[in-house]
Amino acid sequence: MKLSSAKKIILSVGLLIATTLIIVIFVILPTINSIKDITKQTAQLRANIEERYQESLRTRLTKKKIEDIQANSKDFGNYLYTNHDPLQFIEMMESIAVKNSVSQNINNSNLDSIKSGGFLNMTLSFDGTYQNVLNHIYTLETLNYFFKIHSIRLTPNGSDNANAIITISLYVN
């Protein structure tokens, strides 16, 4: 059967359009979808890598801070009271009182019942000249211990004398 040239052109154009549609549907659209998926995966991967990078920076910074803290707190143990010998602590407190010429009493102490990780609580009362009492308070402040002072009461006791009552806590290592 012979086709006229107009029919041949229409048939050729139809085949060309059909071929183009087949190529678009089966090749180009899946490729575009694949490119979109790869773009999403790349964005997720980039975000994941950025998150890990930030985490590694934080970890590095934290390690640096830990090293600094360890270096700064190396001598920290020297300032903590250890519960090995409470008598030695009392003798030290008494020798400081003698050195400052004040009479000192240790009251309300839990020296015999403290445990590591707890607090040594005590009330110190001392009498002497006003200057000696202030010197004694200053000496207590300069001891190599971390005292937590709860209260200080300083009252005159005669013309040049004073009475002081100090309530303190001391962390026990």
Please tell me the total number of residues recorded for the chain in this structure: 173
Q: Check: CB of residue 60 under 8 Å from CB of residue 92.
A: no
Mark the ranges of the chain whose per-residue pLDDT is less than 70: 1, 75-85, 112, 114-117, 173
Model confidence pLDDT, tens digit, residues 140-164: 888 877 778 899 999 998 788 999 9
User: What residue ranges in 23-113 does DSSP mark as E strands?
Assistant: 103-107
Q: What is the pLDDT of residue 58?
A: 96
**Residue among 84, 141, 112, 81 at smallest CA distance from 124:** 141
By three-state DSSP, how is residue 143 classified? coil
- Whether the pTM exceeds 0.95: the reply is no
